[in-house]
A = this chain, B = another copy of it.
């Protein structure tokens, strides 16, 4: 259930889509233009937090250099706008290409499921820019397994 004026929500959704498009196209210039200058942070799935524009952009450059192919299908997109800040949560259904085979042919495709919380700020020129991206793997099964309540009781992978 999205929250905010519909024009704001549309603009934020477009900025959110642009973020994933930039990664899909390995377009570091586009990505650089999408991120705010100050106080930014990123958590890629399973990674520690990286803070500061330089470190954030370097991490994307590294990911792009190590990714042969990636496509994001976004679902459960939820936008909440308060003033000049927008919070987006979404599920990234990821299809990515593994390393190329030794004979030069494309590697196998790998699927992944990541949930993301993306924070955007409206800048003085009215554009929405990325303040923070936090993506994390979904490790808890939706089906009940051993544990009746489906919780992992904080026993996260150490």
Interface residues in chain A, defined as those with a beta carbon under 8 Å from any beta carbon in chain B: 1, 3-4, 38-41, 43, 45-49, 51-52, 62-63, 66-67, 70, 76, 78, 80-85, 87, 89-91, 94, 96, 98-99, 110-115, 117, 119, 121, 131-132, 134-140, 142, 149, 151-158
Contact = CB atoms under 8 A, between A and B. Distances in A.
Given A136-B46, A138-B47, A121 B76 contact: no
A93 to B, nearest CB: 11
Given A39-B80, A41-B78, A80-B131, A91 B151 contact: no
A140 to B, nearest CB: 5
A149 B135 CA distance: 19
A112 B154 contact: yes
A135 B137 CA distance: 11
Given A46-B138, A51-B78, 7 more contacts: A1-B51, A39-B87, A47-B115, A49-B78, A94-B154, A135-B136, A137-B139
Nearest to A115: B49
A152 to B, nearest CB: 6
A63 B156 CA distance: 13
A36 to B, nearest CB: 8
A87 B45 contact: no
B112 A155 contact: yes
A140 B46 contact: yes
Contact of A41 (B51, B87, B98): B87
